[in-house]
């Protein structure tokens, strides 16, 4: 990668920690401390704004793929609502009425929290 290409590339370092157990600062991360001029002070919204909206042209005669949702326990439905609201607020996802769809499920992490997974098979 040339210097010019590197200058045009955006990159973000995100450190996710449990705020209730540890108080840490971005400056405490070794790579941030070593290269402070590379990291921006303010965090832009994700996904970044793009100049072009992309679309996928389908082969004539084909239709969208959509699978039925998996059954979920009431606790999982509640967790799904919480995680989707959080992702919407942060701008990582947006509402959609697309005919394309994939079921979601949860996988329990080592700490007992739930990881949202999407089954694109």
pLDDT by residue (tens digit) across 56-110? 788 888 888 888 889 999 999 999 999 999 999 888 888 888 888 889 999 999 9
What is the tally of structural domains in the chain? Answer: 1
Domain range enclosing 25 = 3-118
CATH (domain of 70)? 3.10.10
Q: Is the peptide bond before 51 cis (omega within 30 degrees of 0)?
A: no
**Average pLDDT of every residue of the chain:** 79
What's the CA gap between 28 and 11, in Å, rounded?
19
């Amino acid at each position: 990668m040339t210097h010019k290409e590197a200058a045009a590339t955006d990159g973000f370092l995100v450190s996710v920690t449990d705020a209730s157990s540890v108080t840490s600062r971005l400056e405490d991360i070794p790579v941030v401390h070593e290269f402070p001029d590379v990291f921006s002070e303010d965090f832009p919204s994700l996904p970044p704004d793009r100049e072009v909206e992309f679309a996928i042209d389908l082969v004539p005669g084909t239709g969208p793929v959509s699978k039925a949702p998996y059954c979920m326990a009431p606790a999982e439905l509640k967790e799904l609502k919480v995680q989707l609201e959080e992702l919407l607020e942060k701008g990582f996802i947006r509402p959609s009425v697309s005919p394309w769809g994939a079921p979601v499920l949860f996988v329990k992490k080592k700490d007992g929290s739930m990881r949202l997974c999407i089954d694109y098979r």
